[in-house]
């Protein structure tokens, strides 16, 4: 062996020894010991992981999988200290080759890396969806809540389709001022795009995300079904961002465009040259408004209906609260919200009891950070265990009870000294900027449905223990498994009220 080869070998061995020594000395948050090369690959729970993390009883836990660091935070203090107070280094978003690169969701600004580009998009979105701006959408939110009633009274058995259409059509109207019907090709296009994201998330981790080099495998290659699926989905995703936005711009040129979110964006551009440079930004903002807005609202409404047929006493209390204000003589308006605090409490409890994303959307660190003497390396994926926090007895006594009254005082008014489930919408600088729009939409939908309908289940429900958990999907976004319910007008004048809403529309 040559002298240079000996030096090279000695240097390599020394480097490996130093790396191993550093690794042993690095004090990561507590976690199970891993295996060589694969680390904790078999330790990370797959089914209902939020429940299993709670059973461990740890405020934070660390995994290392194939060289990737993962930290799960399971206390409000840990989340506040890491994701809020250190948000300057914990606000990145981990990339997904399958979702972003192959299926085209890299065009959605919520998937951008933490950067000036992301901040510019968020600032502009926040300008139109912040709390002070949300009232401009109340009229259309009310209109579509009343359209939903008409659909439910005619074909109640199709309630999942009615909810998805009503919410989707409302968002399209607000974003583009298009009045779409269920059979509209645009409705099908955007729903197919959103469905692609749901399918990718439901599938879990794709091999191409673990071995990114697989992105170069040809679609025709045996076993490359993921490439063929991604190519099919990308057509829908690109259509979501491009087709309605381009259609709106064409209507502007002919003078037929109506005021909406897109027009508000375009009106701030002075000349065509500048517009050309901002087209992709506006397409990302408008397309993301649909994709992010519809799924959260639709899934929460389904969770609400599931809760109503499981906890009829809460529904009875909501009926009484609505009747005291509306007297069964009119449909609700957003102005009634302060007079019906029980309904706000009911919405809070739906969000607290079953958060849609139990582990929260993942963050990623951009630099090494520290917490309680432990090292959180750069590029660590950080989860906030929302489900555990909202089941914390110190924040919510008797957390397994579905009890909207926990948010109300003896006088029936909303309490100011209890924890409101804001974690439902995320953490730190990545908290959902459309949360005010979403809560307004949800309140109006709940108020309208319960003002006129009794919602009843088709079969009994288990409400305790693991039997309860098994009635929800176990993937990243946890929603009720398919269920049936009935919508019965609860007093003789209810049908007339629904018709009056149709006439007003």
Kindly report the CATH number assigned to the domain that includes residue 145: 1.10.630.10
pLDDT digits (tens, 9 = 90+) for 147-201: 999 999 999 999 999 999 999 999 999 999 999 999 999 999 999 999 999 899 8
- Cα 132 to Cα 140: distance, rounded to the nearest angstrom: 17
Helix, strand, or coil (residue 247): helix
> What pTM was computed for the model?
0.92
446 in Cβ contact with 302 (< 8 Å): no
The mean-pLDDT minimum among 59-68, 353-362, 368-377, 452-461 falls in 452-461
The closest alpha carbon to 345, from 321, 376, 370, 375, belongs to 321
| pLDDT recorded at residue 21 | 45
pLDDT band at 25 (very low <50, low <70, confident <90, very high): low
**In this structure, how many other beta carbons lie within 10 angstroms of the beta carbon of residue 489?**
17
Secondary structure, 3-state, 311-342: CHHHHHHHHHHHHHHHCCCCCCCHHHHHHCHH
Domain range for 490:
3-504
Helix, strand, or coil (residue 383): strand
pLDDT band at 4 (very low <50, low <70, confident <90, very high): very low
Q: Is 432 annotated as a binding residue?
A: yes
pLDDT digits (tens, 9 = 90+) for 398-437: 999 999 999 999 999 999 999 999 999 999 999 999 999 9
Kindly report the average pLDDT of the chain as a whole number: 91
pLDDT digits (tens, 9 = 90+) for 102-114: 999 999 999 999 9
Q: What sections of 155-260 are H helices per DSSP?
A: 159-176, 185-203, 207-210, 225-254
- Cα 250 to Cα 257: distance, rounded to the nearest angstrom: 8
pLDDT band at 466 (very low <50, low <70, confident <90, very high): low
Residue percentage of the chain with pLDDT more than 90: 80
- Cα 199 to Cα 206: distance, rounded to the nearest angstrom: 12
The closest alpha carbon to 333, from 241, 255, 448, 412, belongs to 448
Q: Give the count of domains, the chain.
A: 1
């Amino acid at each position: 062996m040559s002298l240079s080869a000996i030096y090279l070998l000695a240097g390599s061995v020394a480097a490996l020894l130093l790396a191993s020594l550093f690794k042993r000395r690095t004090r990561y948050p507590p976690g199970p010991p891993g295996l060589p090369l694969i680390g904790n690959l078999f330790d990370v729970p797959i089914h209902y992981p939020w429940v299993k993390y709670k059973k461990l009883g740890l405020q934070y836990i660390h995994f290392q999988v194939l060289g990737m660091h993962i930290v799960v935070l399971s206390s409000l203090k840990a989340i506040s200290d890491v994701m809020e107070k250190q948000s300057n280094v914990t606000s990145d978003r981990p990339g997904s080759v399958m979702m972003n690169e192959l299926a085209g969701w890299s065009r959605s600004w919520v998937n951008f890396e933490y950067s000036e580009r992301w901040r510019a998009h968020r600032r502009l979105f926040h300008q139109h969806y912040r709390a002070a701006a949300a009232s401009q959408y109340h009229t259309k939110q009310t209109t579509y809540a009343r359209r939903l009633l008409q659909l439910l009274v005619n074909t109640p058995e199709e309630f999942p389709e009615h909810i998805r259409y009503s919410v989707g059509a409302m968002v399209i109207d607000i974003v583009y001022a298009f009045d779409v019907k269920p059979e509209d090709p645009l409705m099908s296009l955007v729903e197919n795009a959103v469905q692609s994201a749901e399918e990718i998330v439901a599938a879990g981790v794709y091999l191409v995300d673990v071995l990114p080099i697989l992105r170069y495998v040809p679609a025709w290659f045996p076993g490359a079904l993921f490439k063929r699926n991604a190519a099919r989905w990308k057509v829908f995703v690109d259509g979501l961002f491009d087709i309605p936005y381009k259609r709106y711009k064409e209507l502007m040129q002919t003078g037929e465009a109506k005021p909406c979110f897109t027009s508000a964006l375009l009106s701030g551009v002075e000349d065509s040259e500048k517009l050309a440079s901002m087209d992709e930004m506006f397409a990302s903002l408008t397309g993301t408004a649909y994709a992010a807005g519809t799924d959260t609202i639709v899934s929460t409404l389904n969770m609400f209906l599931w809760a109503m047929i499981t906890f009829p006493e809460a529904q009875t209390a909501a009926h009484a609260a609505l009747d005291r204000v509306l007297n069964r003589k009119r449909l609700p308006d957003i102005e009634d919200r302060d007079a019906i605090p029980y309904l706000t409490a009911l919405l809070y409890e739906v969000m607290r009891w079953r958060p849609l994303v139990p582990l929260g959307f993942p963050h990623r660190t951009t630099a090494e950070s520290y917490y309680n003497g432990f090292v959180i390396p750069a590029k660590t994926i950080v989860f906030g265990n929302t489900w555990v926090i909202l089941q914390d007895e110190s924040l919510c006594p008797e957390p397994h009870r579905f009890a909207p009254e926990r948010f109300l005082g003896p006088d029936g008014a909303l309490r100011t000294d209890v924890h409101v489930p804001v974690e439902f919408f995320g953490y730190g600088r990545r908290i959902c900027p459309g949360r005010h729009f979403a809560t307004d939409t949800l309140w109006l939908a709940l108020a309208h449905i319960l003002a006129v309908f009794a919602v009843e289940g088709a079969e009994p429900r288990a409400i305790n223990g693991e039997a309860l958990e098994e009635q929800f999907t176990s993937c990243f976004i946890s929603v009720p498994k398919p269920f049936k319910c009935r919508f019965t007008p609860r007093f003789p004048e209810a049908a007339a009220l629904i018709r009056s809403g149709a006439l007003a529309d």
